[in-house]
Structure 1
Amino acid sequence: MPEVMKSGEPCLALIVDDEESIRKTLADVFEDEGWQSVTAENGKVGLQLYSRRQPDLVLLDVWMPGMDGIETLQKMRQVNPTTPIVIMSGHGTIETAVRATKLGAFDYLEKPLSLDKLIPLLDHARQIRLQLDEKSRHSSVPDMIGNSPLISQIKRQINMVAPRNAWILITGENGTGKEVVARHIHEKSSRASKPFVAVNCAAIPEELIESELFGHTKGAFTNAISQKKGKFELAHQGTLFLDEIGDMSLRTQAKILRILQEQAFERVGSTETLTVDVRVIAATNKDLKEQIKTGQFREDLYYRLNVVPFHLPPLRERGDDIFDLAQHFLTKMAHELGEKQKILSPEAQKAMREYPWPGNIRELKNLLERACIMSDAEVIEADFLRDLLGSSEKTGDPLSQEFLAASTLKQAKTDFERAYILGKLEENQWNITKTADAIGLERSNLHRKMKLYGIEPKGKG
């Protein structure tokens, strides 16, 4: 009977060896010890299985035709640097063992393998699995779902870049997961135990952004009733994530550039210079090179931030990742709602593949959440999904093409609020009192907003 871990799944081993007899013998040993196993006859197949199955332990032969064990080890380490990989060899030398260890091998075993040495390794790998599971349960960082070539390359890039302190610029459309990537970089870095501080530069009014970033002293301006630390100070020794950096004013950009150059700043209203140790990760959905041409973004700041560029692909280019993400969201929602998990019909899957997903992962999640809430059926059909997408556009889903096409964030917020109020008025048969209660506004405030947006009352309420 397999030994089930706290995560609910038995440990999985990957055995990579060009000799079938060795693969079969090791698979039998793993089964006896309560493990599951998958096998590969060469390094290329082993690397594919490693990326797709994410095993808890790898036994990897050195001498194989084509991609040998050392090269396979290097490539596996780029995909995931934490999995224990044990190198095996029947022609072992001290030099090979030392090289494998330097490249990140967990251990080195000589053939023929000894059970006395192998079994303790399995126990050790189990403990590593438990520790990783425990860390995962307490981590607030969302999983990076998907194994398409594009997203697999992003994962490899994260593993290579995270241990270094280089500044990073992440670009991509809205909803592609830029903050998720930033958080994974932080979690895999030496700063993981220190703060990760996120700032949405587009959401902070221009007159307040300096206070938010650099802090202020008591009395620095009206309503500054006490001293406040800014985001840079709060992120000391950790990571500061500057989202929507392309929406910053040129004045604020100049101040950011100075901090990046000197790692020093003054709070608003103070002449005292403070020094910080912060890793900056910036993100934007804008074309910063185009903004440089039009004078909206500083060229020197762009090159200061863009030490390591990441570009996140839109969901429509990620192939079967759409279904991996859908499965993830449906599983999570079933657990949260305490209901049986819904499944997508083949026609629904086809419709999802054909849809362009202008709101990317965020839009997919919202759509499936609506589907789970609004349908009692176990199977989600294509027509139902199309109806939900159609109703989203009519009632003002903030991820619809209409709002994504807004010229500014302020315009998008205005368009959304007007459409939201209209939708709620329709739901409540234009009863002003009921609508105000439903959306948590005073009746007078709702009247004021309706007047602002040119919404004429219908009937009485």
Structure 2
Amino acid sequence: MEDRESQCNVSQTVEPAPCVLIVDDEPDILELIDITLSRMGVQCLLAETLAQANQILKEEAHRSLRLCLTDMRLPDGSGMELIRTIQAHYPSLPVAMITAHGNMTCAIEALKAGAFDFLNKPVDIKTLRELVTSALRLTLEKPAKVTTFSQHPLLGVSEPIEQVRRMIDKLARSQAPVYISGESGTGKELVARLIHAKGPRADKPFIPVNCGAIPADLMESELFGHRKGSFTGATSHKDGLFKAAEGGTLFLDEVADLPLDMQVKLLRVIQEKAVRPIGAAQEEHVDVRILSATHKDLAKKVAEGEFREDLFYRINVIQLHLPSLRDRRSDIDVLINHFLKQLASEMEVPVPRLTDSARDALNQHDFPGNVRELENILERAMTLCDSQQISCEDLSLRMSAPSAKPSQARDTQSSSDWRDEFTYAQEIGLEAYLETIEREMLTHALNETQHNKTAAAALLGISFRTLRYRLKKLNLE
């Protein structure tokens, strides 16, 4: 009988309510947040000073705390001090900054210091609830651990790719905007999907947008939506991609291709967390995390006046650079084996074998198109080879160093050769293809001048400074 009663008591045990630490010296703010969170079933611990907050952290952080919300200015210190303390001593505890409305400088500084998110004053109740819900989901849900690299969608065993994996895990715990840089074909969208999948928004939409593929006159409607009758052809209401990503992540690929007028509107959306559809009288709240990427040099675009500096700093709160395949050559064999198995499964054929010379050729190739180029090369080779063995000839690799001057070589090409070149440019992307040509020109000029950079610059008709910049850009120094 006693055992049955004890079992009943155990089954009726209720998990303790999640607890949030609120730090602000304004009683009205404390009361508003306390009432709002109490209605969500969340217990609030209140502090008006930095000293009180630190004391509560020492007593409660390892037991029930799931989030800390702190004001920027406190009577005895700064909210930034509290963020740094939490990052140093309680790294698993998310912390969000409460900032004055429009003070994006403080918000960005907090995000760079490790804050989970930020909240503007006056506090919007809906935004507050969304922030707390995301933070609680982050601390209560435990994602499955990846035990070996083969189970991780981002394949590789090299140290550069291990660093990327560690950074992904860290970024997944934040709501800060992330700028993913890297050459074409390095896997920027894959990384963005992993950041989303490992974070608290994983059960919400992930919406990728190629900013370079949307016509300029349709971009505002595509991103923000429109109302019926707002322009010719608007026969019904349409929600934009920001609304489609509600609660989840919007991935702005090739963000450098955004027209300047759209950059202004995007900056406002990010700062205000609201969109105004074309033809609408009022803005509509959106809860979206922004991830962006481009293979172009965005800082250079800013310097040339082609990209807004304020938007650059807003989306580039945290930068994640993806290494090129030639900078992680120890991963090439891993990727070869993966793609051969994947392609064989799709084609419903046995997994082919690479000859030693073919594998060596791939390991020595520069891969201007990176992982995407490797996959395309193997797919083409499997389609064209006549046996279950892929030879070096089946790979049809383009060599990075031409035997003749590039201009002369191209002048003598037949129309079929040009079609091959055009197909290759489509495979690896125009930017990567042009980079290949530039690499050939620079390499040839250096060889012609016995690596005399001054003479090479004169041969190419460019300044010595420009030559140095391009050599550094292409890792040819």
Give the TM-score band, short-chain normalised: 0.5 to 0.7
Partner SS for 2:208: strand
Does residue 184 of the first structure (1) align with residue 211 of the second (2)?
no
430, 447, 450: which one aligns with 1:403? 430
**1:241 counterpart residue number:** 251
Q: In the TM superposition, what is the alpha-carbon distance from 1:235 to its structure 2 partner?
A: 0.8
How big is each residue's C-alpha offset from its partner over 1:199-231, in whole Å with a ceiling of 9 and x where there is no partner?
Answer: 000000110000010001111112111111001
| CA separation of 1:142 and 1:369: change in aligned 2, threshold 3 A | farther
Cα distance in 1 between the residues matched to 2:165 and 2:324: 15
Establish whether residue 348 from structure 1 lines up as the match of residue 375 from structure 2. no
The 5 Å alignment of 1:35-114 reads: none
- Over 3 Å counting, the alpha-carbon distance change for 1:395 and 1:240 in structure 2 is closer
Answering whether residue 394 of structure 2 is matched by residue 384 of structure 1, we say yes
**1:389-417 alpha-carbon deviations (Å, 9 max, x no partner):** 9898445223467833678xxxxxxxxxx
Asked if the contact 1:167/1:308 (under 8 Å) is kept, the reply is yes
Please say if residues 393 and 400 of structure 1, whose CA atoms lie closer than 8 Å, have aligned partners that are also in contact. Answer: no
- Which position in structure 1 is the counterpart of 2:207? 197
**Secondary structure of 1:199's partner?**
strand
Task: Tell me how far apart the structure 2 counterparts of residues 392 and 368 of structure 1 sit (CA, whole Å).
Answer: 20
Distance 2:260 2:184 in 1: 22
1:207 aligns with 2:217: yes
Residue 386 of structure 1, CA deviation: 2.7
Measured in 2, the distance between the counterparts of 1:249 and 1:395 equals 27
Q: Find the aligned partners of 2:180 and 2:260 in 1 and give their Cα distance.
A: 20
Report the CA distance between 1:272 and its aligned residue.
2.0
**SS, match of residue 262 in structure 2:** helix
| Equivalent AA in structure 1 for residue 286 of structure 2 | V
Aligned to 2:157: 147
Q: Secondary structure in 2 aligned to 1:320?
A: helix
Change (3 A) 1:381 1:152: same
CA contact (8 A) 2:242 2:288 kept: yes
2:366 and 2:321 map into 1 onto residues whose CA distance is: 18
User: How many residues matched?
Assistant: 277
Distance 1:307 1:190 in 2: 19
**Aligned ranges for residues 420-439 of structure 1 at < 5 Å?**
none
Gaps of 5+ in 2: 1-89, 93-143, 400-416, 435-477
- Quickly say closer, same or farther: Cα 1:403–1:356, change in 2 above 3 A: same
Shift of 1:296: 0.5
Q: Which amino acid aligns with 1:279?
A: R
SS in 2 for 1:222: coil
CA distance in 1, matches of 2:269, 2:176: 15
Counterpart residue type for residue 381 of structure 1: S
Asked if 2 retains the 8 angstrom alpha-carbon contact of 1:168 and 1:307, the reply is yes
Structure 1 stretches of 5 or more lacking a match? 1-101, 105-130, 134-140, 408-461
Question: Take 1:247 and 1:395, find their aligned partners in 2: how far apart are those partners?
Answer: 23
**Amino-acid identity (%):** 44
Q: CA deviation at 1:174?
A: 1.0
- Contact map agreement 2:185 2:428 (CA 8 A) in 1: no
C-alpha distance in 1 between matches for 2:241 and 2:152: 22
Q: Could you tell me which amino acid in structure 2 is paired with residue 308 of structure 1?
A: I
CA spacing shift, 1:132–1:149, aligned 2, 3 Å: closer
* Alignment match, 1:362: 372
Distance in 2 (alpha carbons) for counterparts of 1:272 and 1:241: 25
- 1:310 pairs with one of 311, 320, 328: 320
Q: Report the TM-score when normalising by structure 2.
A: 0.54
SS in 2 for 1:212: helix
**Residues 1:269 and 1:288: Cα distance change in structure 2 (over 3 Å):** same
Which one of the candidate residues 218, 231, 237 is aligned to 2:228? 218
- Is 2:329 the counterpart of 1:319? yes
* Residues 367 and 388, structure 1, Cα contact 8 Å, conserved in 2: no
- The within-5 A match list for 1:325-340 is 325-340=335-350
